[in-house]
Amino acid sequence: MFVIVYWFFLLCFSITCLIFVVRLFLHRTALIYVVRRWGEWVEDRVHVHQHFKVPEFNDSTHQENQFYRRVSLYVNSLASIEDSDFTNLFSGKKPNDILLSLDDRQPIHDVFLGARVSWINEIERDDHHKNHAVSRRSFVLRIKKKDKRRILKPYLQHIHTVSDDIEQRRKELKIHHHSNGKWKSVPFNHPASFDSLVIDADLKTKIRHDLETFLKSKQYYHKLGRVWKRSYLLYGPSGTGKSSFISATANLLNYDVYNVNLSQTIDDADLNMLLLQTTSKSLIVVEDLDRYVSERSRSPITSSGLLNFMDGILNFQDERIMIFTMNAKDGIDSDLLRPGRVDMHIYFPMCDFNSFKNLANNYLGVKDHKLFPQVEEIFQSGATMSPAEISELMLVNRSSPSRALKSLISALQSNSRNGGKVAARLSDSVASSPAPPSVVEEAGGAAWKETVPKEFRKLYGLLRLKSCKRPGSLDHDSELMDQ
């Protein structure tokens, strides 16, 4: 009995060692790839496949096949390209960017909804084409017959979505300005990013989330019969980051910027034409809307022309984001900012101690300093400056954080001593401080009361009571209206 058990354990041990050695050998010598390939070959033999060819050019018209371009982008973005036997390397548009591209006649595998498919990029020579030889490229999709019905349509749709996304990310951004009713563009290279923007962290997350949700909501907007656009109002004193926010949003979404200058002598028709000429996936920006409104009597643009422009009624189905900026909301016609026309109101406050600490970290690389308590005390006494002024001071004194902080302390002290500039700024900030839902409820006005059910209004009232007025806050009213 003992001998049988002994031999049994010895056999198990020997088999385990053998498996271990074989695996090690296969991995070390890369023979594992050969074995896998055999496995795939065998699996391929036992299935019936169907092939779909995507030629680079349309045979009859010799026009470029747009789907070939999409497939090429998609295939070259697959992670499995790194396992391909032969891949080309190209430099991308951005520095240090290396792009991989599949070489001719190289197969590449992909998995979609649990089904394994493969692509191969073929190249055929046509020696009889008008007396000279031409190469015809194509991608061929190989898919198991049993999977075709289940995955083909969603897979092609998936290729569309992914390639759109890649194109969007690779696009070179432009900023457009208009003169004489025509857009002129220059490359947009502003480095602003959401990370360097100093605003309340929760607010930043909410805005990012709102933008991302908007981008994914095409079907939803269309189902509701609404123009697929989102509008933001940025308001707050000068130098608090409104324009930086616009640049950061353009960089985040990779959207072109169209800067609409309402003070130029344009009329309603020009404004409509300008809007029609904007492309999708763009930010349409109107800076200093309050200044324009106060000077409106001298402008050829009518009130309804402006409202139609803000509603984007001429642009169906396109993906646009509109951003309006102003220093203060008071005195602005409530219809102009009503929910639906402007979806979200974002307040940009003057600096407080928290924002100051973020700026000090960004500009001076200091998270803490012995002068911080003194700075905090001055902020608590009510003195303040705009992020633009503070960042400028820090930039000039960036070689010495102590010097930067001392200059800031004396600037804050002198501001609060003479009360002038700061007092003005403070009153500005208080006057335009966020009054989240209440202001917009007025803006929604009677129409809102007519169209929104009573229960909803009650809930809305409760939320209003709970919302607290914080600097850097967000008016959620319009979010609610959208739901």
Chain residues that interact with Mg ion, rule: CB under 5 A: 242-243
Please say whether the beta carbons of 283 and 323 come within 8 A. Answer: yes
Q: With CB under 6 A as the contact rule, which of the stretches 54-62, 102-110, 235-243, 316-324 interacts with ligand ATP? A: 235-243
Residue 473 near ligand ATP by CB under 6 A: no
Closer to ligand ATP by CB, 16 or 238: give it.
Answer: 238
Residue 250 near ligand ATP by CB under 6 A: no
* 115-126 vs 134-144, strand pairing mode: antiparallel
Which residues does 317 contact at the CB level (< 8 Å), separation at least 6? 222, 227, 228
Binder among 312, 339, 387, 471 for ligand ATP (CB under 6 A)? 387
User: According to CB under 6 A, which residues from 182 to 201 bind ligand ATP?
Assistant: 197-199
Q: Which does 244 bind (CB under 5 to 8 A by kind): ligand ATP, Mg ion, none?
A: ligand ATP
Rg of the chain over all Cα atoms, to the nearest angstrom: 31
Burial degree of 422 (CB within 10 A; 0-12, 13-18, 19+): buried
Please say whether the beta carbons of 345 and 235 come within 8 A. Answer: yes
Q: With CB under 6 A as the contact rule, which of the stretches 23-31, 236-244, 277-285, 454-462 interacts with ligand ATP? A: 236-244
Closer to ligand ATP by CB, 385 or 439: give it.
Answer: 385
CB of 241 to ligand ATP, least distance (A): 3
Closer to ligand ATP by CB, 188 or 221: give it.
Answer: 188
Q: Which does 241 bind (CB under 5 to 8 A by kind): Mg ion, ligand ATP, none?
A: ligand ATP
Please say whether the beta carbons of 163 and 73 come within 8 A. Answer: yes
Closer to ligand ATP by CB, 197 or 322: give it.
Answer: 197
Closer to ligand ATP by CB, 241 or 305: give it.
Answer: 241
Q: Which residue is nearest to ligand ATP (CB)?
A: 241
Residue 357 near ligand ATP by CB under 6 A: no
- Token look-up 């990310």 returns 169
Closer to ligand ATP by CB, 108 or 285: give it.
Answer: 285
* Residues 371-380: b if buried by 16+ CB within 10 A, e if exposed: bbebbeebbe
Q: Which does 388 bind (CB under 5 to 8 A by kind): Mg ion, ligand ATP, none?
A: ligand ATP
Sequence length of the chain is 483
Closer to ligand ATP by CB, 77 or 243: give it.
Answer: 243
Distances in Å between the alpha carbon of 198 and those of 82, 140, 241, 390, 404? Answer: 39, 49, 8, 12, 18
CB of 480 to Mg ion, least distance (A): 28
CB of 470 to ligand ATP, least distance (A): 15
Q: Which two tokens stand for residue 43?
A: 């699996």
* 344-347 vs 229-235, strand pairing mode: parallel
Residue 384 near ligand ATP by CB under 6 A: no
Q: Which residue is nearest to Mg ion (CB)?
A: 243
Which residues does 407 contact at the CB level (< 8 Å), separation at least 6? 393, 396, 397
Residue 239 near ligand ATP by CB under 6 A: yes
Binder among 16, 185, 238, 400 for ligand ATP (CB under 6 A)? 238
Which residues does 108 contact at the CB level (< 8 Å), separation at least 6? 75, 78, 80, 81, 84, 102, 118, 119, 120
DSSP state of 351: P
CB of 202 to ligand ATP, least distance (A): 15
Give me the residues that bind ligand ATP (CB under 6 A), please.
197-199, 238-244, 327, 348, 387-388, 391
